[in-house]
């Protein structure tokens, strides 16, 4: 039966509409601070002071030295959808400001007692206006005020007690405010920030223009350990520029609390960007750990849509797959260039053959067939492989026996030379050269069958033998796999994969991509795919699960790295199982060969799980252990 007591449709009063809108924009005091600070930055402010009382629930006062607001525009500034950032729909495609909707001040005023004091830059005096939840603000009154704007927000949510009950403790709410200002301070180095809570100054940041000053600010906000473990990122491609800092894999955290990503100066928390960074660290960081980063992406405003969420924390990219690939490639390149050769003085592995006879050198070269590496391709720059590979028609594996034979050949040659001279230093043939000491130095001894002790120009190097050999082996396996990764195997029994109709349509659209990856896939029904051929390295994998995961990634991100990740996981397992084990005795020559291999190898600073492969103890640190110099 129809209920005839149906209320008529009516327009909501502006006060009620503003309070509803405030629920989307103003979640807590930190939301108020964010909106007001973005207005200050859009007003070209270079000095911003923030005063907080009782976690922002009693008072939020923000002063800036921006251009200010004209007297005749004060009333308009407090009304909904009043802004000078955009004038038409096309302006959204070329947006360069942080704010643009024109609803923040009206929403804040609807749930607090707000006072707005401002002086426009070319006016002789300032004006003040008040609004405490009423529909109409007071008439602007003249006041003495420097150029810029001061906003006071008192008794937040005083007229919406339900929202106020959801607020946390004073300490928690101020923590969110502090984090919000920290993010903006990391974005705007040309602005000074001052933050006080309950009349106590907690943050005072000066403008930071030189690179050293920027790093100092980052260190103050993210901690000195963050600065001690950062890598600088600088990349440019296709109209996109990526800059900033990322942490080395050996410095990771248990939660993603040190991750800051800015797109055109706007702090963003986007799943696509987070996934791209995670993918870049896939090869060097354990899944349960998180890297730290402060990254800045500059892209044409027409290529990104910021009008996605009321809080403006999410964006959409026109070419999301291109942005994803750019981020992953740029960060992977930065992480790869962390081998000791990039971090220290240059070295060349050919030094091992400097004093050897032509016959011994030829024998060793035969024992060490050249394998592509990140070092230069000079004819004399021989890369001593710790691994040997079969063709990809057979399972990729290490031949430990061949490795040990090569070690023994190198060791025997070094021993023969050492016995033919009375100079004690001849057991270190490399040291007779005038070339700079290699970054990882020269081996002194082996400790408990696990570690190499080596001496370099600055002190003592400790090397984890298994971890170092594992990384070298893994990088060589990847290099060999990249050359022949399209080698495919026809399945004796084709695999049927049940998918949704939407996924089946996507698979048909991406057939060329699957073919490039070594798959032969066809659609045999509305919701059924048939896989006849797969890459040889994935022949024993769960093909149905892999195909579904790839389609899920393609649907969500436009790209997928599932197959590559799975292949690399298999290679990493092989590398781990075939690397030199603990308690295996090595000669000095074998240890030096391992050190020389580490130096040009990409990502050799950490093993496949993100643990360090070597550490440096300087002479100063060693002296302090024995209280020398005191």
pLDDT, tens only, 518-568: 789 999 999 999 999 987 767 777 888 888 888 887 877 676 666 677 667
485 in the same domain as 470: no
Residue 499: band (very low, low, confident or very high) from pLDDT cuts 50, 70, 90: very high
Q: Which tokens sit at 629?
A: 């110099």
Is residue 437 situated within a structural domain?
Answer: yes
293 vs 222: CA distance, rounded Å: 10
271 in the same domain as 195: no
Residue 10: band (very low, low, confident or very high) from pLDDT cuts 50, 70, 90: confident
30 in the same domain as 40: yes
CATH number at residue 163: 3.30.565.10
330 in the same domain as 199: no
pLDDT of 123 above 70: yes
Question: According to the per-residue pLDDT averaged within each range, which of 125-134, 359-368, 471-480 is highest?
Answer: 125-134
- Residue 170 has a pLDDT of 95
Is residue 251 situated within a structural domain?
Answer: yes
Is residue 328 situated within a structural domain?
Answer: yes
Is residue 440 situated within a structural domain?
Answer: yes
Q: Using alpha carbons, select from 80, 30, 38 the residue that is nearest to residue 60.
A: 30
CATH number at residue 293: 3.30.230.10
137 in the same domain as 191: yes
Is residue 621 situated within a structural domain?
Answer: no
258 in the same domain as 299: yes
Angle of CA points 41, 138, 198, to nearest 5° = 50
Q: Where among 336, 365, 394 does a domain terminate?
A: 336
- Residue 397 has a pLDDT of 34
pLDDT of 309 above 80: no
Number of domains in the chain: 4
Query: Whole-angstrom distance between the N-terminal and C-terminal Cα of the chain?
Result: 94
State what percent of residues in the chain have pLDDT above 90: 45
pLDDT, tens only, 281-308: 988 887 788 999 999 999 998 899 888 8
280 in the same domain as 321: yes
pLDDT of 361 above 70: no
Is residue 617 situated within a structural domain?
Answer: no
337 vs 546: CA distance, rounded Å: 31
438 vs 591: CA distance, rounded Å: 14
Give the mean pLDDT of the chain.
80
- Residue 2 has a pLDDT of 72
User: Which of 99-108, 262-271, 423-432 is predicted least confidently?
Assistant: 423-432
415 in the same domain as 498: no
pLDDT, tens only, 187-240: 999 999 999 999 999 999 999 989 999 999 999 999 999 999 899 999 999 899
Give the relative orientation of helices 29-42 and 170-187 as an angle to the nearest 10 degrees.
Answer: 20
Segment holding 130, helix H or strand E:
strand 126-131
Give SS3 for 50. strand
pLDDT, tens only, 52-79: 999 999 999 999 999 999 999 999 888 8
440 vs 598: CA distance, rounded Å: 8
Question: According to the per-residue pLDDT averaged within each range, which of 195-204, 404-413, 568-577 is highest?
Answer: 195-204
Task: Report the length, in residues, of the chain.
Answer: 630
Is residue 267 situated within a structural domain?
Answer: yes
424 lies in which domain range?
343-477+586-605
Q: Kindly report the pTM of this predicted structure.
A: 0.71
Q: Where among 187, 205, 223 does a domain terminate?
A: 205
Q: Do residues 606 and 284 touch, judged by C-beta distance below 8 A?
A: yes
372 in the same domain as 287: no
433 in the same domain as 316: no
349 in the same domain as 417: yes
CATH number at residue 563: 3.30.1370.100
pLDDT of 28 above 80: yes
Greater confidence (431 vs 506) lies with 506
Q: Where among 296, 320, 336 does a domain terminate?
A: 336
Greater confidence (389 vs 426) lies with 426
pLDDT, tens only, 474-496: 888 777 766 665 577 899 899 99
- Residue 55 has a pLDDT of 96
557 in the same domain as 442: no
Is residue 169 situated within a structural domain?
Answer: yes
Q: Using alpha carbons, select from 87, 103, 86, 82 the residue that is nearest to residue 95.
A: 86
Q: Which tokens sit at 381?
A: 């720059």
- Residue 341 has a pLDDT of 63
């Amino acid at each position: 039966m129809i209920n005839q007591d149906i209320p008529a449709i009516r327009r909501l009063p502006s006060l009620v509409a503003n309070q509803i809108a405030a629920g989307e924009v103003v979640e807590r005091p930190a939301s108020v601070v964010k909106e007001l600070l973005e207005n200050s930055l859009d007003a070209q402010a270079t000095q911003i002071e923030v005063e907080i009382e009782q976690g922002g629930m009693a008072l939020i006062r923000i002063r800036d030295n921006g251009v200010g607001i004209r007297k005749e525009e004060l009333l308009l500034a407090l009304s909904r959808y009043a802004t000078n950032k955009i004038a038409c729909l096309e302006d959204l495609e070329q947006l360069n400001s942080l704010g643009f909707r024109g609803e923040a001040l009206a929403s804040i005023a609807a749930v607090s007692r707000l006072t707005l004091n401002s002086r426009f830059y070319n006016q002789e005096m300032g004006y003040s206006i008040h609004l405490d939840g009423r529909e109409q603000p007071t008439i602007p009154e003249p006041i003495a005020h420097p150029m810029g704007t001061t906003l006071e927000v008192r008794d937040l949510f005083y007229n919406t007690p339900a929202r106020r009950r959801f607020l946390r403790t004073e300490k928690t709410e101020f923590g969110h405010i502090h984090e919000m200002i920290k993010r903006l301070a990391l974005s705007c180095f040309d602005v000074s920030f001052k933050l006080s809570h309950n009349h106590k100054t907690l943050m005072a940041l000066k403008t930071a223009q030189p690179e050293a000053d920027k790093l100092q600010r980052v260190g103050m906000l993210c901690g000195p350990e963050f600065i001690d473990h950062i890598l600088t990122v600088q990349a440019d491609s296709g109209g996109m520029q990526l800059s900033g800092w990322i942490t080395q894999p050996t410095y990771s955290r248990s939660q993603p609390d040190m991750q800051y990503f800015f797109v055109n100066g706007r702090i963003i928390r986007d799943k696509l960007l987070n996934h791209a960074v995670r993918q870049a660290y896939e090869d060097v960081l354990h899944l349960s750990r998180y890297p730290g980063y402060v990254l800045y992406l500059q892209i044409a405003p027409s290529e990104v849509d910021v009008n996605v969420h009321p809080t403006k924390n999410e964006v959409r990219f026109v070419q999301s797959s291109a942005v994803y690939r750019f981020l992953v490639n740029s960060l992977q390149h930065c992480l790869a260039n962390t081998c000791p050769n990039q971090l220290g003085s240059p070295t060349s592995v050919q030094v091992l053959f400097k004093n050897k006879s032509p016959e011994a050198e030829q024998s060793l070269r035969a024992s060490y067939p050249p394998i592509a590496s990140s070092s230069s391709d000079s004819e004399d720059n021989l890369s001593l492989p710790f691994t040997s590979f079969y063709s990809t028609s057979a399972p990729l594996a290490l031949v430990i026996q061949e490795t040990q034979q090569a070690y023994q050949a190198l060791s025997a040659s070094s021993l023969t030379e050492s016995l033919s001279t009375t100079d004690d230093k001849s057991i270190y043939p490399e040291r007779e050269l005038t070339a700079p000491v290699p970054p990882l130095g020269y081996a002194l001894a082996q400790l408990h069958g696990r570690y190499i002790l080596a001496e370099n120009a600055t002190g003592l190097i400790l090397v984890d033998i298994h971890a170092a050999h594992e990384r070298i082996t893994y990088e060589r396996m990847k290099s060999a796999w990249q050359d022949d990764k399209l080698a495919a195997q026809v399945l004796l029994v084709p695999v049927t994969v049940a998918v949704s109709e939407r996924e089946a349509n996507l698979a048909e659209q991406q057939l060329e991509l699957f073919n490039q990856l070594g798959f032969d896939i066809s659609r045999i029904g509305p919701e059924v795919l048939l896989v006849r051929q797969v890459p040889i390295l994935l022949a024993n994998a769960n093909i149905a699960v892999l195909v579904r995961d790839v389609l899920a990634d393609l649907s969500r991100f436009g790209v997928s790295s599932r197959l590559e990740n799975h292949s690399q996981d298999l290679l990493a397992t092989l590398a781990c199982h075939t690397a030199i084990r603990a308690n295996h005795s090595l000669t000095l020559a074998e240890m030096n060969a391992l050190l020389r291999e580490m130096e040009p190898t990409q990502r050799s600073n950490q093993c496949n799980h993100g643990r360090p492969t070597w550490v440096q103890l300087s002479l100063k640190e060693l002296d302090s252990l024995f209280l020398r110099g005191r």
